[in-house]
Amino acid sequence: MRFINSYARLPETFFERIAPEPVAAPALIRLNRPLAARLELDPPDDDAALAGIFTGNRLLPGSEPIAQAYAGHQFGQFVPQLGDGRAHLLGEVENAAGERFDIQLKGSGRTRFSRGGDGRAPLGPVIREYVVSEAMHALGVPTTRALAMAATGQPVFREDELPGAVITRVASGFVRVGTFEYFAARRMEDELRTLADHVIERNHPAAREADNPYRALFESVCAAQAGLMARWLCLGFVHGVMNTDNTSVSGETIDYGPCAFLDHYDPAMVFSSIDPMGRYAFNQQPTIMAWNLACLGGCLLPLLDPDETTARAAGEAVLERFIPDFTERYREGLCRKIGLPGDDESFSLARRLLDLMRRSRADFTNAFRALCDAQAAPAPFTIQFATAEKIATWLNDWLALLDRTGSAATARETMRAANPAFIPRNHRIEAAIQAAMAGDFAPADRLIEVLARPFDDQPEHAELAEPPRPEERVTRTFCGT
């Protein structure tokens, strides 16, 4: 592995140099071989060696482990110091194609930023993050990825005693909005500029050529996040803890805690046990992202212009475009889900469908998937709805618009590429976690394999596409920290 470690070259105020804390009995649970190949790692065929590497017991040559400093707004409250309290950035590697990846262990022990925490992660949340982040990738959503998971052989103590594990995550960078807030709160302007330069170099290289590179950086982050929010909303994904420290400036989905996918369509859905007010409800996510980006904009002010009024006007002008930009991408995405071009008429037809889905509590994923074939076979689609008459009218309007826009012939293929057959359903993840805690990793492995091809029918795994029975429904998810 060729380590570059550009973050470890930044000033010492950016991180703590610290090695992972060794664990008692490392055991490899899973290595993501396709991802390892993309990183051009050449993993040994020796599970004991791999277990050592992916728990942090064994450091690879060239790795310079650090815990990154960051701050963040948690549920709207500013916390001046958070940081990697249980994660270690092992370093940054580059493949022959010039793609750069940060590799990080999570659950790998205490750091200066642990604030009384034990630095560890229970097996359950590690499995959830592995399954969901890899599914998100296969669904075409920018995200951190999961390279490996390994058991520590050590218990972690939460409400119960739980098995401990470490997940190895890969990202195009782990800088968060909260990283900028860390330096802005301390009025460390040189460090802010250094951080911005680093993020431009790593994640937003086109900004370097702009008249005002920092303004272009802000625009580029906002654009990436607008696209990300559109994808989340088109797939029914609820992040659950969109704090600014869990918002990546690369535009990748990061920090899978109490995340969940909608089963039935309820736009106000909240799953997270720590979000009783519904701040991070499904349909609040774009607005919350705008709020988080406003925090980023505030941090960047001194870089945007030496004159504060001018800087503020520049920042606000960028921010003002976020919701329209999101709406544009959401319109395109939603119209693709019904096989139509992204014009106003198609968009309003798509939103009428969402409204019918809400009233019927129709399964979000299965209703859209059944619509793919509804020109030839409408019944599997219409039975998803309680209001037979209304959905019949909608279907007629849809067929008419397909004809009028000349989309009828291409709609099925367009829709099958936008409407997955499989999503990581909460009850399936829960069952896979329960099995894994009892020592059986087969259900988790099966989920991971099926979700690697979410747009393929895979009839032999049809039951993984079924919504939960009432007694299986997961209505609360937990951070599991």
Alpha carbon distance 380, 366 (integer Å): 9
In the list 20, 26, 52, 83, the residue contacting ligand AMP (rule: CB under 6 A) is 83
Q: How far is the CB of 136 from Mg ion (least distance, A)?
A: 16
68: tokens are 């990154």
Q: Which of Mg ion, ligand AMP, none is residue 205 near (CB under 5 to 8 Å by kind)? A: none
Whether the CB-CB separation of 425 and 109 falls below 8 Å is answered with no
446: tokens are 């099966």
Alpha carbon distance 126, 124 (integer Å): 5
Q: Which of Mg ion, ligand AMP, none is residue 286 near (CB under 5 to 8 Å by kind)? A: none
Residue 434 DSSP SS3: helix
**Any residues with CB less than 8 A from the CB of 204 and at least 6 apart, and which?**
216, 217, 220, 221
Which range, of 93-101, 241-249, 308-316, 366-374, touches ligand AMP by CB under 6 A?
A: 241-249
Q: How far is the CB of 3 from Mg ion (least distance, A)?
A: 24
Nearer to ligand AMP, 43 or 109 (CB): 109
Write a three-state SS string for 135-188: HHHHCCCCECEEEEEEEEEEEEECCCEEEEEEEEEEECCCCEHHHHHHHHHCCC
Q: Does 114 bind ligand AMP (CB under 6 A)?
A: yes
Q: How far is the CB of 23 from Mg ion (least distance, A)?
A: 21
Q: Is 169 annotated as a binding residue?
A: yes
Q: Is 329 annotated as a binding residue?
A: no
148: tokens are 């490996």
**Phi, psi for residue 93 in degrees, rounded to 5:** -120, 160
Q: Is 118 annotated as a binding residue?
A: yes
Q: How far is the CB of 64 from ligand AMP (least distance, A)?
A: 19
Q: Which amino acid is at 256?
A: Y
* Stretch 252-271 residues interacting with Mg ion (CB under 5 A): 255
Q: Does 272 bind Mg ion (CB under 5 A)?
A: no
Q: Is 106 annotated as a binding residue?
A: yes
Q: Does 82 bind ligand AMP (CB under 6 A)?
A: yes
Alpha carbon distance 458, 322 (integer Å): 38
Q: How far is the CB of 83 from ligand AMP (least distance, A)?
A: 5
Q: Is 469 annotated as a binding residue?
A: no
Size of the site for ligand AMP (CB under 6 A): 18
Q: How far is the CB of 255 from Mg ion (least distance, A)?
A: 4
Q: Which amino acid is at 291?
A: W
Residue 352 DSSP SS3: helix
Q: Does 120 bind ligand AMP (CB under 6 A)?
A: yes
Active-site annotation holder among 102, 245, 275, 325: 245
Cα angle 74-75-79, degrees, rounded to a multiple of 5: 30
Closest residue by Cα to residue 255 from 272, 268, 270, 269: 272
Measured in residues, the chain has a length of 481
Q: How far is the CB of 478 from ligand AMP (least distance, A)?
A: 11
Q: Which residue is nearest to Mg ion (CB)?
A: 255
Nearer to ligand AMP, 299 or 362 (CB): 299
In the list 30, 73, 86, 279, the residue contacting ligand AMP (rule: CB under 6 A) is 86
**In 305-425, where does DSSP find H-type helix?**
308-320, 322-337, 344-360, 364-371, 379-382, 388-404, 408-416
* Stretch 195-254 residues interacting with Mg ion (CB under 5 A): 246
Q: Does 255 bind ligand AMP (CB under 6 A)?
A: yes
Nearer to ligand AMP, 122 or 424 (CB): 122
Alpha carbon distance 86, 118 (integer Å): 8
Alpha carbon distance 464, 256 (integer Å): 21
- 305 as an active site residue: the answer is no
Nearer to Mg ion, 248 or 375 (CB): 248
Beta strand 161-171 with 100-106: parallel, antiparallel or unpaired? antiparallel
Residues contributing to the site for ligand AMP (CB under 6 A): 82-86, 113-114, 117-120, 241, 245-246, 255, 257, 479, 481
Residues at the binding site are 83, 85-86, 106, 118-119, 169, 176, 246, 255
Residues at the binding site for ATP are 83, 85-86, 106, 118-119, 169, 176, 255
The residues annotated with a catalytic role in the active site are 245
Residues contributing to the site for Mg ion (CB under 5 A): 246, 255
